Chains A and B, each alone.
Chain A
Amino acid sequence: MRGILNKQLTQRIIFMLLAYAIVQLLVSTNIINAYLQATLVTICINIILAVSLNLITGFTGQFSLGHAGFMSIGAYTCALITMRVPTIAGFLAGVLMGAVMAALVGFLVGLPTLRLRGDYLAIATLGMSEIIRIVFINLDSITNGAAGLNDIPRFVNWPWLYVFVAGTILLIRNLLKSSHGRACIAIREDEIAAEAMGINTTKYKVLAFIIGAFCAGIAGALYSSYFYYIKPDLFGFLKSVDILVIVVLGGLGSISGSVLAAVLLAVVSTYFQSFPEIRMILYALILVIIMIFRPQGLLGSKEISISMFNRMGKLFAFGKGEK
């Protein structure tokens, strides 16, 4: 048993290092040029956003339309800190503070609104993110209002992106494999039964909200640090919908599904840049087609895992042996 565990762990570490090294190589050799790098950053940020929203909506079953609101809090907090302390320490402090501030707002908003269910919760979270946006527009002296913040120092590069993306995925995956994560999933399955089995449903709904907001804050911070320009309108209702689309497309309740969908949509959208007139039509068409043929999302609630590849490998090896 110990041997198997170690083998799995080694494989996981090798896979993670490999993913890092390959992209690093492509960046160093300029195959991923400056233009494609923007796509890479978008993919990474969208992965963090989608995986964290999946924790709230896909695993805990709380329909949220306010994820862009949490993202904007992280973006503004990090921007304001790095503009005053333009060092790598300032950047890291900015990301951390951005995440903490977003989590704090997540807590304050979650406590009263999570009594609501389904559509009502969606409307409440939508209202919340609109309030955050309006606050940023009107806090002229700090946020420069609707014009937004300019010249935010850039610290985000591939190594940092990788650390935050891998960190988010690992932490949320670990959480879901624990009793606390199972409590969240139980709420999605049947709230009354979960409560009767000793699960404090309010606590775990708020917890999912806080962790989701924390990660969205990180994503926002990375966004502001890479694209060095933010304004409140970037984090409106449409941004929340964009994230929700990734989650639903990948599969509610599948982390690897969210990752896959984030990559796929970014690649599709980048590829279609060459046909600007019909780009959004094609994009929407692809969404419609996928939803017709895979209404449960690309992966449903299944996960792609390394042990799955191992099993497939064994199956193939077995097949060869027979022949």
Chain B
Amino acid sequence: MQLLAIEKLTKSFGGLTAVLNVNIELQQGELIGLIGPNGAGKTTVFNLLTGVYVPTSGNITFCKDDSKISLHGLRPHKICKEGVARTFQNIRLFRDLTVFDNVRIAMHKNVKYGLLASLLHSPSYRREEKTIADASMELLKIFNLDEKKDEYAKNLPYGEQRHLEIARALATNPELLLLDEPAAGMNPAETAQLTELIKWIREKFNLTILLIEHDMSVVMKICERIYVLDYGILIAEGTPDEIRSNPRVIEAYLGEDVSNA
């Protein structure tokens, strides 16, 4: 079943076209990679998907419960409510808040109690806060962060900050998860562990994942299909094996070494 369809997506910043006529299609439950050299427009695609930028033209359709929703022009918080969550290339945690609060904040969209209930700390407030706290702790346990719940996010080691960002994205209870270079800055051991984690959370949370990553060991290993962007244009699409042997990709991005390897 189709979950996301991006059709002829274009974004221009003044004279610069960052993304041109990009078509991407995601089936439910897939794990798809989006790769390309620096400045190819990968993060721009994420920003268009999550409403940070409004597309110059093109359609983004998100399929949920048999209905099609256009994400075009929606504000980011609305898109999050529809079930699209993301992490950021340069970590954007709430640095001066605790690990626990980082996750709790992301559960905001499911909160039903109103302003009055929160001002008076009514029974419905207490009940829901307890649910939020329990669910947050459960998520933190999955990422082995439960013992650091009262630590400030900025004090976590780099790898754990990346993990916390994924935990926070999952706290919004998404159907589609967009990961922007989750392995950036990690050592090979951490990267291998992250690769397993991504595979595992997809099963556990029944997710569809779109992954931007420079580390080929991650992308080639876990992605079912890969899209390749270069200068804002989609130059290839296919399975890891097809991408590996695609001459246009090798020319644009992977280089001689990889083709010989």
Closest CB in chain A relative to B179 CB, distance in Å: 13
User: Given A175-B118, A178-B118, are A193 and B88 also a contact pair (CB < 8 Å)?
Assistant: yes
A168 to B104, CA, bound (A): 25
Q: Are A197 and B168 in contact (CB under 8 A)?
A: yes
A175 to B105, CA, bound (A): 14
Q: Looking at chain A, what size class is its interface with the partner chain? A: 20 to 34
A174 to B121, CA, bound (A): 7
- Check B80 for interface membership: any CB of A closer than 8 A: yes
Q: Cβ of B94: which chain A residues have Cβ within 8 Å of it?
A: 185-186, 189-190, 193-194
- Check B238 for interface membership: any CB of A closer than 8 A: no
Q: Cβ of B96: which chain A residues have Cβ within 8 Å of it?
A: 189, 301
- Check B16 for interface membership: any CB of A closer than 8 A: no
Q: Are B118 and A174 in contact (CB under 8 A)?
A: yes
A129 to B93, CA, bound (A): 35
* Size of interface on B: residues with Cβ below 8 Å to A: 39
- Check A279 for interface membership: any CB of B closer than 8 A: no
Closest CB in chain B relative to A174 CB, distance in Å: 5
Q: Are A178 and B129 in contact (CB under 8 A)?
A: yes
- Check B132 for interface membership: any CB of A closer than 8 A: yes
- Check B111 for interface membership: any CB of A closer than 8 A: yes
Interface of B is mostly: helix
- Check A195 for interface membership: any CB of B closer than 8 A: yes
Interface residues of B in 85-135 (CB under 8 A from A): 85-86, 88, 92-97, 101, 104-109, 111, 113, 115, 117-121, 125, 128-129, 132
- Check B248 for interface membership: any CB of A closer than 8 A: no
- Check A122 for interface membership: any CB of B closer than 8 A: no
- Check A274 for interface membership: any CB of B closer than 8 A: no
Q: Are B50 and A196 in contact (CB under 8 A)?
A: yes
Q: Are A179 and B108 in contact (CB under 8 A)?
A: yes
Q: Cβ of A195: which chain B residues have Cβ within 8 Å of it?
A: 75-77, 80
Interface residues of A in 164-188 (CB under 8 A from B): 171, 174-175, 177-183, 185-186
Q: Are A198 and B106 in contact (CB under 8 A)?
A: yes
Interface residues of B in 25-53 (CB under 8 A from A): 50, 52
Cβ-defined partner of A174 (8 Å) among B88, B120, B132: B120
Closest CB in chain B relative to A54 CB, distance in Å: 16
A139 to B105, CA, bound (A): 45
User: Given A196-B80, A198-B172, A199-B105, are A179 and B119 also a contact pair (CB < 8 Å)?
Assistant: no
Beta-carbon contacts of B233-253 to A below 8 Å, as 1s and 0s? 000000000000000000000
Q: Cβ of A33: which chain B residues have Cβ within 8 Å of it?
A: none
- Check A307 for interface membership: any CB of B closer than 8 A: no
- Check B81 for interface membership: any CB of A closer than 8 A: yes
A174 to B126, CA, bound (A): 12
- Check A13 for interface membership: any CB of B closer than 8 A: no
Q: Are B105 and A182 in contact (CB under 8 A)?
A: yes
Q: Cβ of A199: which chain B residues have Cβ within 8 Å of it?
A: 77, 105, 108-109
A-B contact pairs, 20 of them (CB 8 A): A175-B118, A175-B119, A177-B118, A178-B117, A178-B129, A179-B118, A179-B129, A180-B118, A185-B97, A186-B94, A190-B92, A190-B94, A192-B52, A195-B77, A196-B52, A196-B88, A196-B92, A197-B106, A197-B108, A301-B96
B: residues with CB less than 8 A from A are 50, 52, 75-77, 80-81, 85-86, 88, 92-97, 101, 104-109, 111, 113, 115, 117-121, 125, 128-129, 132, 168-169, 171-172
6 closest cross-chain pairs (CB), A and B: A178-B118, A198-B109, A198-B80, A189-B94, A193-B92, A195-B76
Q: A179-B129, A200-B77 are in contact. List 13 more A-B contacts (CB 8 A).
A: A178-B119, A179-B105, A181-B118, A182-B101, A182-B104, A185-B94, A189-B94, A190-B92, A192-B92, A193-B93, A197-B169, A198-B77, A198-B109
